[in-house]
Structure 1
Amino acid sequence: MCCKTLNRNYLSFLTQNIVYKYLYMRPILAEVVTIGDEILYGQITDTNTQWMSTELDKIGIKTVRKSSVGDQEDKILQILAEAESRADIILLTGGLGPTKDDITKKTLCKYFNDSLVINDDALGFITDFFTKRGRPMTELNRLQATIPSKSTYLANKTGTAPGMWFEKNGKIFVSMPGVPHEMKYLMSNEVIPRLKTFFETPIIYHKLIRTIGVGESFLAEKIENWEDNLPEHIKLAYLPSFGQVKLRLTAVGNDEEILRKDVDAEIEKVLPLIGSSVFGFDNDDLEVAIGKELKKKGLTVSVAESCTGGYISHLFTKVPGSSVYFMGSVVSYDNSVKINVLGVKEETILTHGAVSEETVIQMAEGVRKLLKTDFAIATSGVAGPDGGTAEKPVGTLWMACAMEGRTVARKVQMANQRDTNINYGSVVALNLLRKMLNGDYEN
């Protein structure tokens, strides 16, 4: 190798290291852009950006924005310029098919002042792809082997559209197919390994505290002083959902073990403030946490459902191994089933109605007796969007939990959104069971 080549390589090495040291001084930011009219029309659900952001987070890269743009050259050019102004990494998916409406490659050429060329590696792969399948390769298929000359070819071994890697002023642009399994292959096997080499990134460590039965604002008041005194490198976010709030602690640094210890220390401080509402951490769904407790104590549960229509049973049975503690359910949607199967008294329904404290208590006690379980939960309500009355408007939900010698009922009033009512009612019912398992029998 000649001296000029050695000097050129050495200068390139020094330049890269200077870039790395500069980038290491601050967080590495990414923007994810999906391309395609079908995304904007709502004809295809965008699942790519969520998955990509999760994978970037694992290597310490923070996604600052997700954008979608149609198949219009001027709009794509605009969003590329905007993304370059605020991110270090711009990841694109979509618009790489063989048809005329897929314009991503031509638009990238315009953005980088480049032209398309046949890539021999891409052409060889595509040719082999069709040969092995005994299918003829058309000219449109051949044109998929063209990529901008300034890009690096990323081999997509799950399809015919290649990935493309661009470097510009210390920033990275990557274009990938929009087909999820092709994008995931390229991200896992080409993009993530290259990004880890190109950038020195901090470690981002997350820990979720999962709470239930307390609203976001009330929770914030309880832990206000603790939150105000969190260390500078640990941030808190509130993630509310149906009857639940996740507290996400995010720590950023260079040593994962230290970050874990720091976060654990903060959790020890906050648990005495909110302990009764905490049911788990990280991926502990409510039904999983309850299942663990039932299994640990050797207890069983059954369900009687009216307005939730079997959804609680679904939550239980989707957990592997739930047959140890979940014995079964009765979906007593019609009053005749409540009366003839669960043993609800006809006069109870005539006097108080199917949606009432009295009925839901008898449902819970009836299914517990029928299926011979330690605990039972029941639901009855007006899920909507119609069927309500002045006394019991849509969204009126009753839940009960029964055990030997005690039954607890609770009423909640929701709105007229059926799916929301079913989801929320199921969460409230499960939380009644959780509390009774923990010895909290307050009505």
Structure 2
Amino acid sequence: MKAEIIAVGSELLLGQITNTNATYISKQLANIGIDIYYHTVVGDNDVRLKDAIEVAKGRSDLLIFTGGLGPTKDDVTKETVAQIVEQPLVYDPASLQAIEEFFTSRNKTMTENNKKQALVIKGSTVLANECGLAPGMAVVKDGIYYLLFPGPPKELQPMFENAGKPYLTSNLPDLVPLESRVLRFFGIGESRLETELMDIIEAQSNPTIAPLAGEGEVTLRLTVKHIEPDVRKQMLDEVEKKIVERVGEFLYGYDDTSLLEEVIDTLLKQNMTISTAESLTGGMFSEQLTNLPGASSFFKGAIVCYATKVKETLLGVSSETLQQFGAVSKETAIEMARQIKQLCDSNIGISFTGVAGPDPQEDKPVGTVFIAIATNTKEVVHELHITGSRQQIRERTIKNGCYYLVKELKKVE
């Protein structure tokens, strides 16, 4: 079955709101084995909506509509679909009663146009709206399924979960569930990752492998279709094993995790604490760590030592190191990490020093970065040359710091 989502609303075309409904529905359909082939967005215009439906009928078996079920004149979805399926609109008694009770319970007068929300396509399956007024509906014509949902996500999502999905799974019994697993990589570019895995990617049809580049990292989405959950897991495990054998050193996590979340999770699991000394990042890393409620259980403190004098007087980096090697050096980075660890009495100290731009510093070009990590047993420093804007250099420095932290923490496990 080929599915198409048709989102109705001029506000979507104007960029006033984001089409989050399409993202949600696509994920839900994929989970039950329905392939999404097209996303369409059309304004509140019955002529253009009818044209969009005619195009969709020629290429899709399941049309899912969001929006346009409200009480105003520009809510045209069900009227237009009713014309397409050649059925009149009729009042649904249960929906009309619910709307009347809504206004009565609030001591408000129900205007006549609100009754419009209780209109449904004759012969359709009504999908109850537990969080709003306008019901959804499902109707079949000439082998094509039309499902209509309200636009507000707070109404659409529970309706889809409680009524839409059960309708689809009961009326389309041959669906084969789909399952995905996302592998997250850092420290390797998309082109190199794809080159390393090209023969595996080309040989796969089920599971499929889809690379996707993000900000400073790469993901691989493994997607499998099979009726049995145990078989799906086995198939995903097998292809993941092949991938890890080649590029496992760059794998840091799965699915919706992030480098920062991996750092925090590992610190919590190992009951370890961290402190930070930040120069070019200006406290950005500490701010990200403390965004998590309960951060005091793993985060001891930080010093933002932007000026060289502060590195010496407040953090305790030796004047000899600063004079001989400069503030942007591996030697200074190591002392910064060592000193912050001691000052905060933490298990780990991490430091960031470098040149974010726009001008060079100490004859070091923009993008020169040193990240040092001090633990109870070792001290390591990494020299990087990062490209991008000033903000990108700072953000990418933090991501690299998280990656190196994850690698060091994994060694302790």
Q: Secondary structure at the match of 1:31?
A: strand
User: Match for residue 407 of structure 2?
Assistant: 435
State the shift of 1:339 in Å: 4.3
Does the C-alpha gap of structure 1 residues 130 and 413 become closer, same or farther in structure 2, counting only changes over 3 Å? same
Does the C-alpha gap of structure 1 residues 187 and 433 become closer, same or farther in structure 2, counting only changes over 3 Å? same
Alpha-carbon deviations, 1:133-186, whole Å to 9, x = none? 222111121222223335332221211122122212222111211111100121
User: Match for residue 218 of structure 2?
Assistant: 245
State the shift of 1:307 in Å: 4.1
1:101 to 74, 85, 90: 74
Counterpart contact for 2:330–2:381, Cα < 8 Å: no
User: Match for residue 5 of structure 1?
Assistant: none
Alpha-carbon deviations, 1:305-336, whole Å to 9, x = none? 34444443354445676544333333445666
Alpha-carbon deviations, 1:89-113, whole Å to 9, x = none? 2111112222222222332233333
State the shift of 1:297 in Å: 4.4
One-letter code aligned to 2:223: T
State the shift of 1:201 in Å: 0.4
Does the C-alpha gap of structure 1 residues 121 and 354 become closer, same or farther in structure 2, counting only changes over 3 Å? farther
- Aligned counterparts of 1:195 and 1:307: Cα–Cα separation in 2: 54
Asked whether 1:162 is paired with 2:138, we answer: no
Counterpart contact for 2:69–2:149, Cα < 8 Å: yes
- Aligned counterparts of 1:130 and 1:123: Cα–Cα separation in 2: 11
Q: Secondary structure at the match of 1:195?
A: helix
State the shift of 1:345 in Å: 5.3
Summarize the alignment of residues 3-402 of structure 1 with structure 2, pairs less than 5 Å apart. 28-199=1-172, 200-230=174-204, 232-317=205-290, 323-333=296-306, 337-344=310-317, 357-381=330-354, 387-389=358-360, 397-402=369-374
State the shift of 1:403 in Å: 2.8
Counterpart contact for 2:386–2:393, Cα < 8 Å: no
Counterpart contact for 1:210–1:281, Cα < 8 Å: yes
Q: Secondary structure at the match of 1:254?
A: coil
State the shift of 1:428 in Å: 0.6
1:416 to 375, 380, 389: 389
Q: Secondary structure at the match of 2:315?
A: coil
The number of residue pairs the alignment matches comes to 409
Does the C-alpha gap of structure 1 residues 81 and 399 become closer, same or farther in structure 2, counting only changes over 3 Å? farther
Counterpart contact for 1:304–1:329, Cα < 8 Å: yes
Q: Secondary structure at the match of 1:42?
A: coil
- Aligned counterparts of 1:350 and 1:72: Cα–Cα separation in 2: 71
- Aligned counterparts of 2:365 and 2:46: Cα–Cα separation in 1: 52
Does the C-alpha gap of structure 1 residues 191 and 377 become closer, same or farther in structure 2, counting only changes over 3 Å? same
State the shift of 1:191 in Å: 0.6
Does the C-alpha gap of structure 1 residues 366 and 129 become closer, same or farther in structure 2, counting only changes over 3 Å? same
- Aligned counterparts of 1:37 and 1:354: Cα–Cα separation in 2: 54
Alpha-carbon deviations, 1:24-61, whole Å to 9, x = none? xxxx2222222111112221122211111111122111
Counterpart contact for 1:155–1:163, Cα < 8 Å: yes
Asked whether 1:426 is paired with 2:398, we answer: yes
One-letter code aligned to 1:212: F
- Aligned counterparts of 1:334 and 1:97: Cα–Cα separation in 2: 59
- Aligned counterparts of 2:313 and 2:18: Cα–Cα separation in 1: 45
Q: Secondary structure at the match of 1:86?
A: coil
TM-score, normalised via structure 2 length: 0.87
One-letter code aligned to 1:388: D
Gaps of 5+ in 1: 1-27
Counterpart contact for 2:127–2:135, Cα < 8 Å: yes
Counterpart contact for 1:395–1:416, Cα < 8 Å: no
Does the C-alpha gap of structure 1 residues 65 and 332 become closer, same or farther in structure 2, counting only changes over 3 Å? farther
> RMSD between aligned alpha carbons?
2.9
Does the C-alpha gap of structure 1 residues 409 and 183 become closer, same or farther in structure 2, counting only changes over 3 Å? same
One-letter code aligned to 2:359: G
One-letter code aligned to 1:434: V
Counterpart contact for 1:208–1:248, Cα < 8 Å: yes
Q: Structure 1 residues 238-247 or 128-137, which shifts more? A: 238-247
- Aligned counterparts of 2:308 and 2:365: Cα–Cα separation in 1: 19
Does the C-alpha gap of structure 1 residues 101 and 360 become closer, same or farther in structure 2, counting only changes over 3 Å? farther
TM-score, normalised via structure 1 length: 0.82
Q: Secondary structure at the match of 2:237?
A: helix
- Aligned counterparts of 1:58 and 1:317: Cα–Cα separation in 2: 35
Gaps of 5+ in 2: none
- Aligned counterparts of 1:43 and 1:351: Cα–Cα separation in 2: 56
State the shift of 1:82 in Å: 2.2
